[in-house]
Amino acid sequence: MSGATDRGDSRHLMTSSVATRILGWVGLAAMAVMALLGLVVSPRDRIQGEAVRLLYIHVPTIWVAYGSFVLTAVASALYLWRGSSREDRGRHYDRIAGAAGEVAVLFLALTLVTGMLWGRITWGVFWQWDARLTTTALMFVSYLGYLAIRNMPADIEARSKRAAIAALLAAVNIPIVHFSVEWWRTLHQKASIRSDRNSEITGDMFATLMFSLLAFTLVAAWLMIHRYRLVRLEEIREEEGLALAVSARRAEGVNA
Protein backbone atom coordinates (compact mmCIF):
# COMPACT_ATOMS: atom_id res chain seq x y z
CA MET A 1 0.00 0.00 0.00
CA SER A 2 1.25 3.44 -0.82
CA GLY A 3 2.29 5.77 1.92
CA ALA A 4 0.39 8.48 0.11
CA THR A 5 -2.94 6.90 0.86
CA ASP A 6 -1.86 6.11 4.39
CA ARG A 7 -1.45 9.84 4.91
CA GLY A 8 -4.86 10.39 3.36
CA ASP A 9 -3.44 13.16 1.18
CA SER A 10 -4.65 13.02 -2.40
CA ARG A 11 -1.98 15.48 -3.53
CA HIS A 12 0.52 12.66 -3.22
CA LEU A 13 -1.52 10.46 -5.54
CA MET A 14 -2.22 10.54 -9.25
CA THR A 15 0.23 12.42 -11.43
CA SER A 16 2.26 14.29 -8.84
CA SER A 17 5.68 13.42 -7.41
CA VAL A 18 8.45 15.13 -5.48
CA ALA A 19 10.32 15.94 -8.70
CA THR A 20 7.29 17.34 -10.49
CA ARG A 21 6.29 19.41 -7.46
CA ILE A 22 9.77 20.99 -7.42
CA LEU A 23 9.65 21.44 -11.20
CA GLY A 24 6.20 22.98 -10.94
CA TRP A 25 7.15 25.52 -8.28
CA VAL A 26 10.37 26.43 -10.08
CA GLY A 27 8.42 26.84 -13.34
CA LEU A 28 5.81 29.00 -11.62
CA ALA A 29 8.47 31.22 -10.06
CA ALA A 30 10.27 31.48 -13.41
CA MET A 31 7.05 32.57 -15.11
CA ALA A 32 6.50 35.26 -12.47
CA VAL A 33 10.04 36.56 -12.96
CA MET A 34 9.58 36.36 -16.71
CA ALA A 35 6.44 38.51 -16.51
CA LEU A 36 8.33 41.05 -14.40
CA LEU A 37 11.23 41.14 -16.85
CA GLY A 38 8.99 41.30 -19.90
CA LEU A 39 6.54 43.91 -18.65
CA VAL A 40 8.72 46.09 -16.41
CA VAL A 41 12.48 45.57 -16.70
CA SER A 42 12.92 45.21 -20.47
CA PRO A 43 13.26 48.54 -22.32
CA ARG A 44 10.95 49.44 -25.19
CA ASP A 45 12.27 48.68 -28.65
CA ARG A 46 13.49 51.53 -30.83
CA ILE A 47 11.38 50.38 -33.79
CA GLN A 48 8.61 48.18 -32.36
CA GLY A 49 8.05 50.25 -29.23
CA GLU A 50 6.19 48.47 -26.42
CA ALA A 51 5.07 45.69 -28.78
CA VAL A 52 8.41 43.98 -28.23
CA ARG A 53 7.03 42.80 -24.87
CA LEU A 54 4.70 40.44 -26.70
CA LEU A 55 7.70 38.74 -28.30
CA TYR A 56 8.79 37.51 -24.87
CA ILE A 57 5.75 35.24 -24.87
CA HIS A 58 5.29 34.78 -28.63
CA VAL A 59 8.78 33.40 -29.34
CA PRO A 60 8.89 30.97 -26.36
CA THR A 61 5.47 29.54 -27.23
CA ILE A 62 6.56 28.62 -30.76
CA TRP A 63 9.88 27.33 -29.34
CA VAL A 64 7.97 24.98 -27.03
CA ALA A 65 5.56 24.03 -29.81
CA TYR A 66 8.39 23.15 -32.22
CA GLY A 67 10.19 21.12 -29.58
CA SER A 68 7.03 19.28 -28.58
CA PHE A 69 6.10 18.52 -32.18
CA VAL A 70 9.57 17.12 -32.80
CA LEU A 71 9.21 15.01 -29.64
CA THR A 72 5.83 13.79 -30.90
CA ALA A 73 7.36 12.82 -34.23
CA VAL A 74 10.35 11.04 -32.67
CA ALA A 75 8.18 9.13 -30.18
CA SER A 76 5.75 8.22 -32.97
CA ALA A 77 8.59 6.93 -35.15
CA LEU A 78 9.91 4.89 -32.23
CA TYR A 79 6.42 3.52 -31.63
CA LEU A 80 6.15 2.34 -35.23
CA TRP A 81 9.72 1.08 -35.41
CA ARG A 82 10.35 -0.45 -32.00
CA GLY A 83 6.94 -0.60 -30.37
CA SER A 84 6.00 -4.17 -31.27
CA SER A 85 9.29 -5.54 -29.91
CA ARG A 86 8.86 -3.93 -26.50
CA GLU A 87 7.24 -5.59 -23.53
CA ASP A 88 4.70 -2.76 -23.22
CA ARG A 89 3.89 -2.90 -26.97
CA GLY A 90 5.20 0.65 -27.36
CA ARG A 91 2.69 2.24 -24.96
CA HIS A 92 5.49 4.36 -23.44
CA TYR A 93 6.33 5.93 -26.80
CA ASP A 94 2.66 6.43 -27.62
CA ARG A 95 2.03 8.19 -24.31
CA ILE A 96 5.00 10.51 -24.87
CA ALA A 97 3.72 11.33 -28.37
CA GLY A 98 0.22 12.03 -27.10
CA ALA A 99 1.32 14.17 -24.17
CA ALA A 100 3.79 16.18 -26.25
CA GLY A 101 1.27 16.61 -29.08
CA GLU A 102 -1.40 18.03 -26.82
CA VAL A 103 0.99 20.43 -25.07
CA ALA A 104 2.32 21.50 -28.47
CA VAL A 105 -1.15 22.34 -29.76
CA LEU A 106 -1.84 24.48 -26.70
CA PHE A 107 1.39 26.43 -27.17
CA LEU A 108 0.88 26.77 -30.92
CA ALA A 109 -2.56 28.22 -30.28
CA LEU A 110 -0.91 30.73 -27.94
CA THR A 111 1.68 31.49 -30.64
CA LEU A 112 -1.10 32.33 -33.07
CA VAL A 113 -3.00 34.48 -30.55
CA THR A 114 0.03 36.43 -29.33
CA GLY A 115 1.24 36.81 -32.92
CA MET A 116 -2.12 38.26 -33.93
CA LEU A 117 -2.00 40.74 -31.05
CA TRP A 118 1.56 41.71 -31.99
CA GLY A 119 0.45 42.12 -35.61
CA ARG A 120 -2.44 44.37 -34.55
CA ILE A 121 0.01 46.75 -32.88
CA THR A 122 2.81 46.55 -35.45
CA TRP A 123 1.06 45.96 -38.78
CA GLY A 124 -2.34 47.38 -37.92
CA VAL A 125 -4.13 44.08 -38.64
CA PHE A 126 -4.62 40.86 -36.72
CA TRP A 127 -3.98 38.57 -39.67
CA GLN A 128 -2.27 38.50 -43.06
CA TRP A 129 -2.22 35.50 -45.37
CA ASP A 130 1.55 35.55 -45.70
CA ALA A 131 3.69 32.43 -45.84
CA ARG A 132 4.65 32.19 -42.15
CA LEU A 133 1.17 32.80 -40.81
CA THR A 134 -0.52 30.54 -43.33
CA THR A 135 1.85 27.60 -42.81
CA THR A 136 1.55 28.01 -39.03
CA ALA A 137 -2.24 27.94 -39.28
CA LEU A 138 -1.98 24.79 -41.41
CA MET A 139 0.29 23.22 -38.82
CA PHE A 140 -2.23 24.03 -36.10
CA VAL A 141 -5.07 22.42 -38.04
CA SER A 142 -3.00 19.33 -38.91
CA TYR A 143 -2.16 18.73 -35.24
CA LEU A 144 -5.78 19.28 -34.25
CA GLY A 145 -6.42 16.39 -36.64
CA TYR A 146 -3.72 14.38 -34.87
CA LEU A 147 -5.45 14.94 -31.52
CA ALA A 148 -8.80 14.00 -33.07
CA ILE A 149 -7.33 10.70 -34.26
CA ARG A 150 -5.96 10.04 -30.78
CA ASN A 151 -9.44 10.52 -29.32
CA MET A 152 -11.33 8.41 -31.85
CA PRO A 153 -13.02 5.35 -30.37
CA ALA A 154 -10.99 2.39 -31.64
CA ASP A 155 -8.77 -0.45 -30.53
CA ILE A 156 -5.88 1.12 -28.61
CA GLU A 157 -3.15 -0.32 -30.87
CA ALA A 158 -4.93 0.61 -34.08
CA ARG A 159 -5.56 4.10 -32.77
CA SER A 160 -1.94 4.52 -31.69
CA LYS A 161 -0.67 3.35 -35.06
CA ARG A 162 -2.94 5.74 -36.98
CA ALA A 163 -1.95 8.59 -34.67
CA ALA A 164 1.77 7.84 -35.11
CA ILE A 165 1.44 7.93 -38.90
CA ALA A 166 -0.52 11.19 -38.70
CA ALA A 167 2.16 12.69 -36.45
CA LEU A 168 4.90 11.83 -38.93
CA LEU A 169 2.91 13.31 -41.82
CA ALA A 170 2.17 16.48 -39.83
CA ALA A 171 5.86 16.83 -38.91
CA VAL A 172 6.72 17.50 -42.57
CA ASN A 173 5.27 20.98 -42.06
CA ILE A 174 7.65 21.90 -39.19
CA PRO A 175 10.67 22.87 -41.35
CA ILE A 176 8.36 24.51 -43.89
CA VAL A 177 6.95 26.77 -41.16
CA HIS A 178 10.37 27.54 -39.72
CA PHE A 179 12.08 28.34 -43.02
CA SER A 180 9.08 30.02 -44.65
CA VAL A 181 10.49 33.46 -43.79
CA GLU A 182 13.70 32.55 -45.66
CA TRP A 183 12.12 30.80 -48.64
CA TRP A 184 9.41 33.36 -49.42
CA ARG A 185 9.00 37.10 -49.11
CA THR A 186 6.85 37.54 -46.03
CA LEU A 187 5.52 40.29 -43.83
CA HIS A 188 6.72 38.31 -40.83
CA GLN A 189 10.18 39.29 -39.67
CA LYS A 190 13.09 36.87 -39.98
CA ALA A 191 14.43 35.03 -36.92
CA SER A 192 15.95 37.44 -34.39
CA ILE A 193 18.41 34.84 -33.05
CA ARG A 194 20.48 32.94 -35.55
CA SER A 195 23.68 30.99 -35.35
CA ASP A 196 25.09 32.11 -38.70
CA ARG A 197 25.05 35.86 -38.04
CA ASN A 198 24.87 38.29 -35.17
CA SER A 199 21.57 38.30 -33.34
CA GLU A 200 19.35 41.30 -33.94
CA ILE A 201 18.37 41.32 -30.30
CA THR A 202 20.92 42.15 -27.60
CA GLY A 203 21.36 43.37 -24.04
CA ASP A 204 18.40 43.33 -21.63
CA MET A 205 16.03 42.29 -24.38
CA PHE A 206 18.18 39.29 -25.26
CA ALA A 207 18.49 38.29 -21.59
CA THR A 208 14.71 38.59 -21.11
CA LEU A 209 14.03 36.49 -24.18
CA MET A 210 16.48 33.80 -23.05
CA PHE A 211 14.93 33.70 -19.59
CA SER A 212 11.46 33.48 -21.12
CA LEU A 213 12.56 30.52 -23.21
CA LEU A 214 13.79 28.80 -20.04
CA ALA A 215 10.61 29.58 -18.07
CA PHE A 216 8.28 28.32 -20.80
CA THR A 217 10.40 25.19 -21.28
CA LEU A 218 10.16 24.35 -17.56
CA VAL A 219 6.39 24.84 -17.54
CA ALA A 220 5.96 22.80 -20.73
CA ALA A 221 8.03 19.96 -19.25
CA TRP A 222 5.85 19.98 -16.15
CA LEU A 223 2.68 19.90 -18.24
CA MET A 224 4.01 17.10 -20.42
CA ILE A 225 5.00 14.87 -17.51
CA HIS A 226 1.60 15.27 -15.90
CA ARG A 227 -0.19 14.71 -19.20
CA TYR A 228 1.87 11.55 -19.76
CA ARG A 229 0.78 10.22 -16.39
CA LEU A 230 -2.83 11.19 -17.06
CA VAL A 231 -2.72 9.20 -20.31
CA ARG A 232 -1.55 6.25 -18.29
CA LEU A 233 -4.40 6.66 -15.80
CA GLU A 234 -6.88 6.86 -18.68
CA GLU A 235 -5.50 3.64 -20.10
CA ILE A 236 -5.84 1.93 -16.73
CA ARG A 237 -9.44 3.08 -16.46
CA GLU A 238 -10.11 1.76 -19.95
CA GLU A 239 -8.54 -1.60 -19.06
CA GLU A 240 -10.44 -1.76 -15.77
CA GLY A 241 -13.71 -1.06 -17.56
CA LEU A 242 -12.97 -3.79 -20.09
CA ALA A 243 -12.04 -6.28 -17.36
CA LEU A 244 -15.28 -5.52 -15.48
CA ALA A 245 -17.30 -5.96 -18.66
CA VAL A 246 -15.64 -9.32 -19.37
CA SER A 247 -16.17 -10.60 -15.83
CA ALA A 248 -19.82 -9.46 -15.89
CA ARG A 249 -20.28 -11.31 -19.18
CA ARG A 250 -18.69 -14.44 -17.71
CA ALA A 251 -20.94 -14.21 -14.65
CA GLU A 252 -23.96 -14.02 -16.95
CA GLY A 253 -22.75 -17.19 -18.67
CA VAL A 254 -22.37 -19.05 -15.36
CA ASN A 255 -25.81 -17.96 -14.14
CA ALA A 256 -27.42 -18.97 -17.41
Partner 1 sequence: MDSWGTILLGYGITFGAIAAYAYSILSRSRAIGHELGIGVPASSALPHLSGPEDPEDPEGSPGVRSNER
226 close to 235: Cβ distance less than 8 angstroms: no
Choose which of 141, 158, 172, 233 interacts with partner 1 (CB under 8 A).
233
Q: Report if residue 219 touches partner 1, rule: CB under 8 A.
A: yes
Question: Which residue blocks in 123-256 are alpha helix, DSSP H?
Answer: 131-150, 156-171, 173-183, 203-255
Options 73-81, 108-116, 154-162, 194-202: segment touching partner 1 (CB under 8 A): 108-116
User: Based on CB atoms, which residue is closest to partner 1, 34 or 164?
Assistant: 34
CB of 126 to partner 1, least distance (A): 10
Q: Work out how close the CB of 208 gets to partner 1 at its nearest, in angstroms, rounded to a whole number.
A: 13
6 C-beta neighbours (distance < 10 Å), count: 9
Tell me the chain's radius of gyration from C-alpha atoms: 22
Candidates 3-11, 78-86, 147-155, 163-171: pick the segment binding partner 1 (CB under 8 A).
3-11
Of the candidates 70, 74, 77, 113, which one interacts with partner 1 according to CB under 8 A? 113
Contacts of 76 (CB under 8 A, 6+ apart): 93, 94, 97, 163, 164, 165, 167, 168
State how far the Cα of 97 lies from the Cα of 91, in Å rounded to an integer: 10
Q: Please tell me whether residue 215 binds partner 1 under the rule CB under 8 A.
A: no
Q: Is 156 in the site for partner 1 (CB under 8 A)?
A: no
The 3-state secondary structure of 49-91, one letter per residue: ECCHHHHHHHHHHHHHHHHHHHHHHHHHHHHHHHHHHCCCCCH
Which one of 5-13, 151-159, 173-181, 184-192 is the stretch in contact with partner 1 (CB under 8 A)?
5-13
If one asks whether residue 139 binds partner 1 (CB under 8 A), the answer comes out as: no
Buried b (16+ CB within 10 A) or exposed e, 31-48: bebbeebbeeebeeeeee
Site string for partner 1, 23-42 (x = CB under 8 A): --------x---x--xx---
Question: Where do contacts with partner 1 occur on this chain (CB under 8 A)?
Answer: 1-5, 10, 12-20, 31, 35, 38-39, 49-51, 53-54, 57-58, 61, 106, 109-110, 113-114, 117-118, 120-121, 219, 222-223, 225-230, 232-234, 236-237, 240
